[in-house]
Amino acid sequence: MIWTVLGTIGIALATVILGVLADRRWSLLPRKETLIAAGKPRPLLPGHGPGEAAATAIVGSPGDIERLRRKQRCPRCRTEMNAIADDRVTFDDHELLVLRFACPKCSAERSVYVRRQTA
C-alpha cells in the first residue's frame, strides 16, 4: 500500500519536472512579459492622415492651398511632386478641392483633400 502511494507521488513529480523542463526549452506557457503587454491598450490601426481622405480634409485659406501645392514630396522617393489638374467633390455637404500630384521620378500619385476656409 505504501509503495502505491510513493509510486504515484513519484510519477506525478516526474511529470511536473518534465513539464517544467519542456516549458523552459520550448516556451509552452505564456511569459509574464507577454501577459503584461496583452493587458495594455493596443494602438489604433493606421488611418488616413490629414488631407489623405475626404473625411480628414484640411481646412485652409487660398494661401495655405498654394503652399500645399508647392511643398508636396513623394512618399516613396522624397522627390518634389508636380501638381496636376485639381478636382472638386462634395462630402458631408461641403465642397472640397482635391489637389492632385504626380511624382516625376517614380510616377507615384497623391491626392490632398482641402476645404476652403470660410470667413
Query: Which residue range(s) make up the domain with 97?
Result: 54-116
Query: Residue 48 gets which letter from DSSP?
Result: -
Q: What is the largest CA-CA distance in the chain?
A: 96
Q: What is the residue-averaged pLDDT of the chain?
A: 86
The radius of gyration of the chain from alpha carbons, rounded to an integer in Å, stands at 31
Asked, for residue 81, whether it belongs to a domain, the answer is: yes
Asked, for residue 48, whether it belongs to a domain, the answer is: no
Asked, for residue 19, whether it belongs to a domain, the answer is: yes
pLDDT of residue 41: 67
pLDDT of residue 14: 95
List, as own/partner pairs, every contact residues 57-63 make where C-beta atoms lie below 8 angstroms and the sequence separation is at least 24, other chains included. 57/91, 57/94, 57/96, 57/113, 57/114, 57/115, 58/112, 58/113, 58/114, 58/115, 59/114, 59/115, 59/116, 59/117, 60/114, 60/115, 60/116, 60/117, 61/116, 61/117, 62/116
9-57 pLDDT per residue, tens: 999 999 999 998 988 888 888 777 777 777 776 665 677 778 888 888 9
99-112 pLDDT per residue, tens: 999 999 888 899 99
pTM of the predicted model as reported, rounded to 2 decimal places: 0.58
d(CA 112, CA 51): 5
The share of the chain scoring above pLDDT 70, in percent, equals 95
Are both 30 and 70 inside the same structural domain?
A: no
Q: Taking residues 59-64, what's their average pLDDT? A: 89
Are both 96 and 64 inside the same structural domain?
A: yes
Are both 33 and 64 inside the same structural domain?
A: no
Domain tally for the chain?
Answer: 2
Residue type, 4: T
Are both 74 and 109 inside the same structural domain?
A: yes
Are both 104 and 69 inside the same structural domain?
A: yes
Asked, for residue 46, whether it belongs to a domain, the answer is: no
Half-sphere exposure (Cβ direction) of 102: Cα atoms closer than 13 Å: 5
